[in-house]
Chain A
Amino acid sequence: MRNLEKISIADLARVSRGTPAGEWFRRYWLVVGTVKELRDIPVAVKVLGEDLVLFRDLDGKVGLVGMHCPHRGSSLEYGDIEERGIRCPYHAWLFDVGGNCLEQPGEPKDSQYYKKVKHLSYPVRELGGILFAYMGPEQDDPPPLPKYSPLVDNGGQKYIESTRYYDYNWFNFIENGVDPVHFSVLHRSDPSDGTWRSWFFNRHDIPYFDAVEMAYGVKVISRKPGPTPDTEFVDEKSVALPSIIQIGDLEFTHFHKPRSALTEGSQIEHIMFVTPNDDDHFMLFTADSYTGRDPEFFPKLAATRPPPPTGEKKAYDHRKHMPFRGSVRHEDIMTQGTQGSIDQRDEHLAASDRGVILLRKSILHAMKTVQKGGLPQGVVPKEHADEMVKIQSFTGIRAKGVI
């Protein structure tokens, strides 16, 4: 482990075991899969630089174990799933979800060798269709799995999106979550199209935002005057530690409406969990919770998203990310994917980066807390295990001045 004073924000980019950020990440429950995508075959998944295999045994228990069989290394991604665990295709060693070796058919009768083999394994828990793993110390007594509000049954409609995979450093995606002004520039649209988005995120009239330190991380609130003197239009979103973004709209469902339509707010929690595969790749797991009045909100939505880029591409334009205009996803990938990771780029942070600066400060502090053996921000203390974790997000009109 490195000296405390040597730790810096640049360390965020590296997530393998033994690095400051790698050890920090290993104090949280991290999303490693979704229930709907984990079928009856093993799924190879790389998490924080470790090659692992996720599977559900025929008893229904979910396991996350080392990808390479501890015998002679063949991949358990091709193993057979059985009642009690997963069996290596090469010599049929059988492992349960706890990494215990249960059988070694090639060994002599009465051999006890299987008891000596402990395969790498991490506990997995399920909440609201999302699978979380804990890769930190004290595996037998991990911290409580946070009850993130969009994952908890609230009588509303739920939707788990398909997992997305990205090939750049995880932090570029996360810090973008507390950078509300980029919305008015990168994701700009025709200011006269009559939608809430074009009016609110007008690049010639960029809304002021506040960056606020929260118990879970950082919140940014952008505002414009409301229809009445005591109200305002608000777009509020948060980053929660270690790597969660929550916003109050999804793929412009509400941003596309006229601004008068948002008197009740969007009634949406769009929570995005980022899990680094390694220093250059991450996965994005997204869960949506809707509590509005439309009885078929998600079925209607599915057909229209995500919108493809609408920008034109000239015949001689061979730039990698073209076209990207017109698709928020593509626009974000173009900018975040070209920044370089935080430990590589030259930066000039500006006043509009105050959300980013606050977030970096919080994470740096959390990494130092882990180095000192403490419980970092965002890990739920045991005595609060049953409390719901409410990450704040909002899009619409509400009373003026709410922080």
Chain B
Amino acid sequence: MSATHETKPSDSDLGHVGAGTPGGEMFRRYWLAISRAEDLRDIPQAVKVLGEELVLFRNGQGRLGLVGLHCSHRGASLEYGEIEEKGIRCLYHGWLYDVDGNCLEQPLEPTGSTFCQKVKHPSYPVRELGGLLFTYMGPDNPPPLPRYSALVREDGTRLVLPPRYWDYNWFNFWENVVDSLHAYVLHTDSRSERSWENAFWRYRGDHHLDAFPTEYGLKAIVRWPGPEPETEYVRLTTVALPTVFSLGGRGEEDAGFERLLFVTPSDDDNFMVFTSDFIPKGSEQAIEEREKARRASPSAVAVKEYDKRKHVPFKGQVWKEDYVCQSTQGNVGYRREYLATSDRAIILLRKQLLEVMETVQNGGTPMGIIPKEKENEMISLEAYRAVLTKSQVQQLLNNGHA
């Protein structure tokens, strides 16, 4: 498949991220998170991104490099190379590369050889923002690196969580983030003590799910009757293309808390998730308590001796509940589906991504790319859970339509 093929992208393209595929070319127009800054120490770090085997390192001068894993000479892995002042040196024959992929030395070549200048090793630009490292693997000049508020705000504490690695298709995870309702089914056991979640079961059938396009992606709003007659429970989540997800705090007591998830496919069957929290000054205690509850180990579930199912036990542990569902779905476009009303946000998300692929195919600028003139602006991805009055809800929905 070539990047310029004329076929309109379809669901099955969402699962493929290799170079030249519609999905792969789409991802290659955005900055993608590839590592946590604090994890990149003084040794090279192998990282697979969009099917490409790469190695990340910081040279002796502190500059960040992301270059091909396999040495351009005869392929040995630079993951085992030596980091020097000017770059990374292959352990096999001593070829030295700088962070831009230029070959600086070939010690075994004759004195006076200029072969070095003919070797260009694959490399991609890397930037650091808010404790995360991002790369751009596309053509031409990279667009501005989005300044998401959780990564640039200074009025509190930033906490980048350890990255997580998963072994199924990225899109199963991705569409789940806008599937707000699953939390009230799948994660019920683990949160049953919270009346907030239980509200869904009390008002089952009285809920509404809406999804609206925004400047950079979409927002999903799920709501149902609130505790007072003229109120509604509202859960708002926001997505920025291609794979940034904002799920905020829980209403007023956490005002200003932000959690951003960045999803980066390693290949068609594996992806990485980077999580960055921003905790505003004054909210530390409330957030700590909430997180403690979230991290609490599940009530010990006794596994029956005859229960040999691979993923058991999973109930009571949010990540594992998600893993069981998402890793068994099969890939979108290949699986048999009956999409329902509750999939409204997923339908919009798929539509947006397919449109973006088409835009990229046609040489256009896809949704979610920050225009040059807004390079320095802070981008706020709104997300919260709150009880709102009906008029506030109306306003929210109107804005959504606007």
Contacts and interface: CB of A to CB of B under 8 A. Distances in A.
Main secondary structure of the interface of B (DSSP, over half): loop
A72 B185 contact: no
Main secondary structure of the interface of A (DSSP, over half): loop
Contacts of A227: none
B338 A74 contact: no
Contact of A91 (B181, B306, B314, B321): B181
B342 A91 contact: yes
A71 interface: yes
Interface string A279-297: 0000000000000000000
A72 B337 contact: yes
B339 interface: yes
A250 interface: no
Interface-central residue, B312, B324, B329, B338, by most chain A CB under 10 Å: B338
A68 interface: yes
Interface in B321-358: 321, 324-326, 328-330, 335-343
Interface-central residue, A42, A92, A116, by most chain B CB under 10 Å: A92
A318 to B, nearest CB: 29
A70 B337 CA distance: 5
A220 B290 CA distance: 72
B181 A78 contact: no
A91 B307 CA distance: 23
A70 B326 CA distance: 14
Contact of A70 (B311, B328, B336): B336
A36 to B, nearest CB: 10
A108 B341 contact: yes
B205 interface: yes
B337 A106 contact: no
B326 to A, nearest CB: 7
B321 A89 contact: yes
A137 interface: no
B321 A107 contact: no
A117 interface: yes
B325 A71 contact: no
Contacts of B164: none
Contacts of B324: 74-75, 78, 89
B329 A77 contact: no
A73 B186 contact: no
A111 interface: yes
Nearest to B208: A108
Contacts of B328: 68, 73-75, 77-78
A90 B328 CA distance: 11
Contacts of B336: 68, 70, 73
Contacts of A109: 204-206
A74 B309 contact: no
A161 to B, nearest CB: 16
Interface-central residue, A70, A74, A113, by most chain B CB under 10 Å: A74
Interface residues of A, number: 30
B182 interface: yes
Given A75-B324, A90-B185, A68 B330 contact: yes
B304 interface: yes
Nearest to B175: A72
Interface size class of B (residues with CB under 8 A): 35 or more
A113 B205 CA distance: 13
A41 interface: yes
A41 B304 CA distance: 9
Contacts of B175: 72
Given A90-B186, A91-B181, A73 B338 contact: no
A105 interface: yes
Given A41-B304, A106-B342, A74 B329 contact: yes
Nearest to B180: A106
Interface in A350-386: none
A78 B343 contact: no
Interface string A78-120: 1000000000011110000000000011111111010011000
Contacts of A73: 328-330, 335-337
A44 interface: yes
Contacts of B339: 71-72
Interface string B295-326: 00000000010110101101000000100111
Contact of A74 (B312, B326, B340, B343): B326
A107 to B, nearest CB: 5
Given A40-B304, A72-B337, 12 more contacts: A68-B329, A73-B336, A74-B329, A77-B328, A78-B312, A90-B182, A91-B181, A104-B342, A105-B201, A107-B341, A109-B204, A109-B206
Interface of A: 37, 39-42, 44, 68, 70-75, 77-78, 89-92, 104-111, 113, 116-117
Interface of B: 175, 179, 181-182, 185-186, 201, 204-208, 304, 306-307, 309, 311-312, 314, 321, 324-326, 328-330, 335-343
6 contacts: A41-B307, A68-B335, A73-B329, A73-B337, A78-B312, A78-B328
In the A-B complex, list the 4 residue pairs whose CB atoms are closest, starting with the nearest. A109-B205, A75-B328, A106-B342, A73-B329
